[in-house]
Structure 1
Amino acid sequence: MLNRRTLVGAFAALAATALPAASQDWKAKVPELTLAVIPAENASGTVDRYTPLTEYLAKEIGIPVKLRVANDYAAVIEGQRAGTIQIAFYGPASFARAVMTGVKTEPVVNQKHGNGASGYYSVVYVKADSPYKTMEDLKGKNLALVDPNSTSGNQAPRFFLQKAGYDVDKHFGKTFFAGSHENAVLALVQGTADAAANLWNAEDDTAITRMIPKGMLKKPDGTSLQQSDFRVIFKSEFLPEGPFSVLSSLPDDLKAKIREAFVALPKKDKTAFDRLSDGKDLDFTAVTLKDYQPIIEMLRYNDEQRKRS
């Protein structure tokens, strides 16, 4: 069902939905741009991570670029729908949801991680000192999800756990949305949840490894938790990394300028690029709508399952 090659033809037409080119004098029509980012971490961390990028884009494009840290994933989708967010960083599921609900947005690039993959996995964490070693052990327990439109924090675990024989809403005694990847981990640490769904790029690049240097993960005695204090008991199949995406309605020459700026970022401003991943990523990979067709199919499946329940 998630085989991209079998679905490319059905979505080929969507790749050409950009509107006709606007006037060359686009600065008169678009005096500034807004880059919005999904809340993968707390607001201050997101601002620190993405401010160098907005400064770089403003310099390269030639107009002010404002950073907007969204309260939830839906805010990015609705902001692009309304035209108030011209550039967005989406997770793959939130991008797919935007496309599925009629938002005219075009993916530009996604990040290539240190292992050479332009994607990641969804995992279910438990604390290493807990008795839970399998999904069966978690029957009737509490699961912290991230956001309804999060890929690794909701849509992917629902899809892949269903395929493995576990209906999330029936298997767990309680599920709840923590709001961000960091909050889901904190719910696990604080005992609000017995397990937490989250993202996993590589052994040395996870939500947990990014939280540790910030001093966010502490034991009751105040000592720092380490990655070894957590155990992965479920891991999804490979997922494409979420894209930076631009509104299709922007003037063509402005869209081209934005694309050029992103492609050049890793070499032109390595400091800003490295800040996006704490230096873990290698480069950007150019992406198109067809790269997210498997995610669109995953969401359609999940939507259908929800209707039946």
Structure 2
Amino acid sequence: MLRIYAFFLLLCAMPGLSWAQPPSSLAMGFIPSRSISEIQVSADRIADYLANEVGIPVETVTVSNYAGVALAMQSKRIDLAFVGPMNYLKINDMMGAYPITSSVRSDQQGYRGLVITRSDSEIKSLNDLRGKTMGFADALSTSGSLYPKQALRKVGVDPDSEMRSVMLSSHSSIAMSVLRGKVDAGAIYQDARTNPEILSAVPDVLERTRVIYTTDLIPADPQIVRKDLPKDIVNSLREALIKMSADPEAQKWLKDLYGIDSIAIASDEDYNKLREVIIQADPDFLKRR
């Protein structure tokens, strides 16, 4: 028995022999807050940069929602993903993925949500939205759903019964719907109005719309990894993301992708306050699948 154990230890110590083979490639997932075609070029450039730094090919995968990311991470089809803060909490609760970095905008590791209307609208505050039509993003959007709905309830307006809520496909779609008069107001991240596809179509969008409410600071959207990804690869990805955010050329890709200025180190503890907000708004939210 001792000989067998000694032989096992000898095998483990032999150079070039590894029981946990590193992956031959990595997959980076995105949940688009804009149309896929508008972010694909930047996503592919980011993947190429990370592949060069880590030394492993990286491919991009677009997933429609948090459940898709969670399942793909669980089956090891996605290793790294750019997600929203609420997406992260759901995925973390489902399968233990965790953040390694998060996005920085306007020198803040976090962002705010806006409620906008047209400049010629009579709507001046959240109270004026009673009986109106408002565009929201997916229910898992912090800036496009959770925070503005919570703010409406605080001023006594029930978004489920006292107004018509319309769920739209992206924050750019919400802003355009406000501009075109399809909805009276809309909830977006700050400042989705300056997304390239909006500015190219409506250069004076900031003059034609008005902000009537700004949310509290929301924890930054994180870059997360699956829980069982080897630690050496996790560390390499973290270092590569931080290095990339200091590269002037790569900064353009991040800006075009999600309006990101830079990337900083993050941890799960950064999202505890958001967990508290979610529990107050809907105690069973994270448990639902």
TM-score by length of 2: 0.84
Structure 2 unaligned segments of length 5 or more: list them: 1-15
Letter paired with 1:118: Q
- Confirm whether residue 44 of structure 1 aligns to residue 41 of structure 2: no
* Displacement of 1:240: 1.4
Q: Is the 8 A contact 2:117 2:186 kept in 1?
A: yes
Question: Could you say if the C-alpha distance between residues 193 and 305 of structure 1 is closer, same or farther in structure 2, counting changes exceeding 3 Å?
Answer: farther
Alignment partner, residue 266 of structure 2: 287
The aligned residue for residue 64 of structure 1 is 57
Give the Cα separation in 2 of the matches to 1:156 and 1:76.
Answer: 23
Matched, 1:138 2:123: no
Instruction: Give the aligned partner of residue 8 of structure 2.
Output: none
Match of 2:255 in 1: 277
C-alpha distance in 1 between matches for 2:210 and 2:252: 28
Tell me if structure 2 keeps the 8 A contact 1:35–1:68.
yes
**Cα pair distance change 1:253/1:132, threshold 3 Å:** same
Q: For 1:71-90, list aligned pairs within 5 A.
A: 71-90=64-83
Report deviation, 1:162: 2.4
Query: What is the CA–CA distance in structure 2 between the aligned matches of 1:24 and 1:300, rounded to whole Å?
Result: 48
Hey, what's the Cα distance between the residues in 2 that align with 1:131 and 1:26?
67
CA distance in 2 between partners of 1:304 and 1:86 (Å)? 29
SS at match of 2:128: helix
One-letter code of the match for 1:162? R
**Counterpart position of 2:152:** 161
- Provide, for residues 67-90 of structure 1, a one-character-per-residue CA deviation record: whole Å limited to 9, x for no partner: 122234443343334432110111
Seen in structure 2, the aligned counterparts of structure 1 residues 282 and 144 have a Cα distance that, compared at 3 Å, is closer
SS in structure 2 at match of 1:52:
helix
Supply the distance in 1 between the matched residues of 2:133 and 2:282 (Cα, whole angstroms): 22
- Write out aligned runs for 1:115-126 (5 A): 115-126=106-117
Structure 1's 192 and 75: CA in aligned 2 closer, same or farther, altered over 3 A? farther
* Runs of 4+ with deviation above 6 angstroms: none
Alignment match, 1:19: none
Which residue identity does 1:275 align to in structure 2? Answer: W
Counterpart residue number, 2:282: 303
Q: 2:96 aligns to what?
A: 104
Count of aligned pairs between the two proteins: 269
Is 1:210 equivalent to 2:195 in the alignment?
yes
Seen in structure 2, the aligned counterparts of structure 1 residues 77 and 189 have a Cα distance that, compared at 3 Å, is: farther
Displacement of 1:255 in angstroms is: 1.2
Cα contact 2:86–2:142 (8 A) shared by 1:
yes
- CA RMSD, Structure 1 to Structure 2 (Å): 2.4
C-alpha displacement at 1:250, in angstroms?
0.8
Task: Report the 3-state secondary structure (helix = DSSP H, G, I; strand = E; otherwise coil) of the residue aligned with 2:99.
Answer: strand
Match of 2:184? 194
1:152 aligns with 2:131: no
Shift of residue 188, structure 1, vs aligned partner = 1.7
Within the alignment, does 1:184 sit opposite 2:163 as a pair? no
Q: Structure 1 residues 291 and 216 mapped into 2: Cα distance closer, same or farther (>3 Å)?
A: same
Greater gyration radius? 2
Percentage of identical aligned residues: 26
Give the secondary structure class of the aligned counterpart of 2:160. Answer: helix
Counterpart code for 2:195:
R
> Which residue number corresponds to residue 13 of structure 1?
none
2 CA distance for matches of 1:285 and 1:240? 12
Any conservation in 1 of the 2:22–2:230 contact (CA below 8 Å)?
A: no
Q: Secondary structure at the match of 1:198?
A: strand
Paired with 1:189 and 1:162, the residues of 2 have a C-alpha distance of 25
Q: Provide the residue aligned with 1:10 in structure 2.
A: none
- Separation of aligned partners in 1, 2:250 and 2:186: 30
Tell me which moved more, 277-286 or 250-259: 277-286
What is the match of residue 4 of structure 2? none
Report the Cα offset of residue 282 of structure 1. Answer: 4.8
Contact 1:123 1:197 in 2 (8 A): yes
The DSSP-based 3-state class of the residue aligned with 2:161 is helix
The residue that corresponds to 1:258 in the other structure is 237
